[in-house]
Structure 1
Amino acid sequence: MPKKRNDAQTVEELRKKTAEDIQKKLPGVKERQDAINENLQRLQEFRDNEPNPLGKGKAKHLAAVTSTHQAVETQQAAMRKILEEVRRAAEMDYRSQMDGDISRRDLMELIKIRGELLPLWISHDSPFPGEYVGAIAPQDGSKLNEGDSVAAFNKDGNWILADIISCHSNSRYECRDVDDDKKKLTVFSRSHLLPLPKWKANPASEKHALFAKNAIVLALYPQTTCFYKGIVHSPPADFRDPYQVAFEDDSYPSGFCPPMPVAQKYVVAFREVAGLTASTAPKKGNKKK
């Protein structure tokens, strides 16, 4: 399957259109938020006057609750559409940069920003987070999609950051190492691919969707494009926070280096392939990616 390319002009036009569309929608966001606040104020006034919601004012209380709930749902739906527009523009921008010539410094910055901008999962259809939210991975062997970011186990025995370019079948995927200047494509079996999260888990509401303290993980070592074995020193306390991961490193007496920040997007469950794994973190002067 030929790879889709996005030229700079197309990306710039999309970025401009997205910015214009969001600017037009911002007044509507404020209007809907004002409506929510008015509903909440009326609901509070009702409760102040009638503490018993099952009393004689039961019908009015139910109507006030229903009206508030509908206002919130309307605002949520509108915000999801805006966030999806931003996500699509950001994804197209990322693909455009990856298809062009990019310096290693810019690549590291792009990877960092992509991790920080991972969308937050917000409950709407289901009260429970599903696959690809934080630490909740899809089932082994499940189909992956073109454009998905993965940790790929290569022939050198390293877990590398890669993008799926095309799907040959449910078990064979053509991927590109993000740190390959030649942009060569390599075919991986599904068992050698670990899909990365597509949404952040919110510690305030989905703590169970995060790796717990002392969990053994594979995490992207800062300023590299390789995943290494480590333990979670501390999970995110806020949805803006990264994990703090102590990577396995035999140059330290404890066997682990001091904790380092890693975005939720780049932390997955630890896995070995045929008893092999990239377990030792790169040391100073090490030329590993």
Structure 2
Amino acid sequence: MPRKKNDAVQALEEEKKQLAEDITKKLPTVKAKQDTINEILQRLQEVRDNEPNLYGKGKPKHLSAVTSTHRAVDSQQTFIRTILDDVRRLADLEYRSQMGGDISRRDLMELIKIRGEMLPLWVSHDCPFPGEYVGAIAPQGSSKLNEGDAVAAFSKDGNWILADIITCHTNSRYECRDVDDDKKKLTVFSRNHLIPLPKWKANPQSDKHALFTKNAIVLALYPQTTCFYKGIVNSPPVDHRDPYQVAFEDESFPSGYCPPMPVSQKYVIAFKEVAGLTATTAPKKGNGQKKK
């Protein structure tokens, strides 16, 4: 058994190394493609400067230059998207690598924070409207989830915990690992006890409708913990780099809510109760959090 584990770790490290090398090799091509675009733009400008009638005799030259520019830009965008996909894969591998070993409480919190910050921005290209997993747009409650998906899982003690799906079964049951479990024990959850987390950020500038609005009731990951608690959105992101500001329910404050706290888009989901139960009260200092 130990040998198999070591083999898996070694294979993961090799995959990370190969992917990092591939990314490094691709980067010079980005500059080369940009140089090509600059040259084509210069030729386009020359056509416009030298042709007195761009919609008469000069139309074929102008149309050819414009078409060449569009093709070059599309080629560069497609190439950059492949690099961004590779970067996301590398980040996922790094996450799996760190989660597979011993990790301190401090490093776990930092890893969770980084994972939220690296949530990719949804950019319209094939579809003009954001779909499932973009910001606040959740998939249907019965939709199938995938191995590796990050979820909020409703535990037996009545808390929504941050977990990763390890194995998917055909009967809508999923083996998940609590990210805060030292023993890395797997627990089986039914689909209705899981809420998938967003896979893309919504851009407030172009897709504001894909964000939770002010005063929306949500479940959000309480800072420096691995549990989701009930709160209200005090203010949604203004820029795609901004987090939500969430006020969590907290009876120790006269208003019933603590001061707003920043929470990444990845860790803010629609409020849900299970059999009338949910984790509604924000934790007091050190309440119910495991120490490592």
Q: Same fold by TM-score, threshold 0.5 exceeded? A: yes
State the Cα distance separating 1:10 from its structure 2 match. Answer: 3.2
Distance in 2 between the 1:248 and 1:113 partners? 25
State the Cα distance separating 1:238 from its structure 2 match. Answer: 1.8
State the Cα distance separating 1:122 from its structure 2 match. Answer: 2.0
Which position in structure 1 is the counterpart of 2:238? Answer: 237
What are structure 2's unaligned runs of at least 5 residues?
none
Which position in structure 1 is the counterpart of 2:122? Answer: 121
Q: TM-score, normalised by structure 1?
A: 0.90
State the Cα distance separating 1:32 from its structure 2 match. Answer: 1.1
State the Cα distance separating 1:137 from its structure 2 match. Answer: 0.9
State the Cα distance separating 1:64 from its structure 2 match. Answer: 3.2
Which position in structure 2 is the counterpart of 1:30? Answer: 31
State the Cα distance separating 1:284 from its structure 2 match. Answer: 2.3
Q: Aligned pair 1:92/2:93, yes or no?
A: yes
SS in 2 for 1:160: strand
Which position in structure 1 is the counterpart of 2:186? Answer: 185
State the Cα distance separating 1:55 from its structure 2 match. Answer: 5.8
**Runs ≥4 residues deviating over 6 A:** 3-6, 48-53
Distance 1:5 1:217, change over 3 A: farther
Select between 196-205 and 62-71 the one with higher mean Cα deviation: 62-71
Q: TM-score, normalised by structure 2?
A: 0.89
State the Cα distance separating 1:256 from its structure 2 match. Answer: 1.2
State the Cα distance separating 1:65 from its structure 2 match. Answer: 3.1
Q: Aligned pair 1:66/2:62, yes or no?
A: no
Q: Aligned pair 1:261/2:267, yes or no?
A: no
State the Cα distance separating 1:197 from its structure 2 match. Answer: 0.7
What are structure 1's unaligned runs of at least 5 residues?
none
State the Cα distance separating 1:62 from its structure 2 match. Answer: 3.4
Which position in structure 2 is the counterpart of 1:142? Answer: 143
Identity %, equivalent residues: 79
Paired residues for 1:156-235 under 5 Å: 156-235=157-236
Whether contact under 8 Å (1:142, 1:170) holds in the other structure is no
Select between 57-66 and 180-189 the one with higher mean Cα deviation: 57-66
Amino acid at match of 1:151: A
Distance in 2 between the 1:185 and 1:51 partners? 72
Distance in 1 between the 2:66 and 2:7 partners? 47
Distance 1:126 1:229, change over 3 A: same
Whether contact under 8 Å (1:216, 1:230) holds in the other structure is yes
- String of CA shifts for 1:237-284, please: whole Å, max 9, x gaps: 222221111111121112111111111111111111111111111122
CA RMSD of aligned residues (A): 2.4
Amino acid at match of 2:66: V
State the Cα distance separating 1:60 from its structure 2 match. Answer: 3.9
State the Cα distance separating 1:15 from its structure 2 match. Answer: 3.1
